[in-house]
A and B are shown apart, each in its own frame.
Chain A
Amino acid sequence: NAGVTQTPKFQVLKTGQSMTLQCAQDMNHEYMSWYRQDPGMGLRLIHYSVGAGITDQGEVPNGYNVSRSTTEDFPLRLLSAAPSQTSVYFCASSYSIIQGAFYEQFFGPGTRLTVL
């Protein structure tokens, strides 16, 4: 199993450009999430999905879109990049929630994004 994969590993954008961060998992996990990690702050949830066709907003969704057409893929789209979106982005997947417990997440290697 490849686990959770993310592409690209590094990206530099100019303000106003758009791009898609790719995330895929081969563990048949229903639950997938996108986080951003900034210096001095904990991981913050951008969007998440509990299964194909279902997405919801997290703590910091503005400026980002997601879709979940298949169980495996969960791309994150930046609509019009801004310097405030300079960050490291992590995708994660997990088993479905059972009896109210949220089980361990498997994280991708991250994408380091710089917006000039």
Chain B
Amino acid sequence: KNEVEQSPQNLTAQEGEFITINCSYSVGISALHWLQQHPGGGIVSLFMLSSGKKKHGRLIATINIQEKHSSLHITASHPRDSAVYICAAHSGGGADGLTFGKGTHLIIQP
């Protein structure tokens, strides 16, 4: 079973700061997913990537397959980015192949 570790567990930053959240996994994967969970509880899929880098607005996700590591970056952070960010490693198959990290709780202060 894949082991997925996220760091940091908690992060508080000031508005405008560049944010980095890290995710490492123990077993080779077919894809890495990043999710966002807002304080209200809803979960939204942000990225799915298997190599390189993807960008959506101020969010950038990168993955290094050799090092078994992915990062989620937020540029020009804003209080509305405050949420829990979850990475999930997919080792194959369907939902049974997903292993979720415990999440990074991000707070952006104005």
Contacts of B33 in A (CB 8 A): 104-105
A12 CB–B CB distance under 8 Å: no
Q: How large is the interface on A (under 10, 10 to 19, 20 to 34, 35 or more residues)?
A: 20 to 34
A116 CB–B CB distance under 8 Å: no
Contacts of A97 in B (CB 8 A): 93-94
Contacts of B101 in A (CB 8 A): 42
> Known interface pairs A33-B95, A50-B94, A104-B48. Does A109 touch B41 (Cβ–Cβ under 8 Å)?
yes
Q: How large is the interface on B (under 10, 10 to 19, 20 to 34, 35 or more residues)?
A: 20 to 34
B16 CB–A CB distance under 8 Å: no
Contacts of A43 in B (CB 8 A): 86, 88, 100
Contacts of B67 in A (CB 8 A): none
Docked CA distance A112–B94 (Å): 25
Contacts of B4 in A (CB 8 A): 42
Q: Let me know if A40 and B102 touch, CB within 8 A.
A: yes
Which residue of A has the minimal Cβ distance to B45?
A: A104
Q: Give the residues from 28 to 73 in chain B that come closer than 8 angstroms, CB to CB, to chain A.
A: 30-31, 33, 40-45, 48, 50
Separation in Å of the A9 CB from the closest CB of chain B? Answer: 9
B92 CB–A CB distance under 8 Å: yes
Q: Which one, B40, B41, B93, B95, contacts A105 given CB within 8 A?
A: B95
Q: Let me know if B41 and A110 touch, CB within 8 A.
A: yes
20 contacts between A and B (CB under 8 A): A31-B95, A40-B102, A42-B86, A42-B99, A43-B86, A45-B98, A50-B94, A58-B95, A88-B41, A92-B95, A101-B30, A102-B30, A102-B93, A102-B97, A104-B33, A105-B33, A107-B43, A107-B44, A109-B40, A109-B41
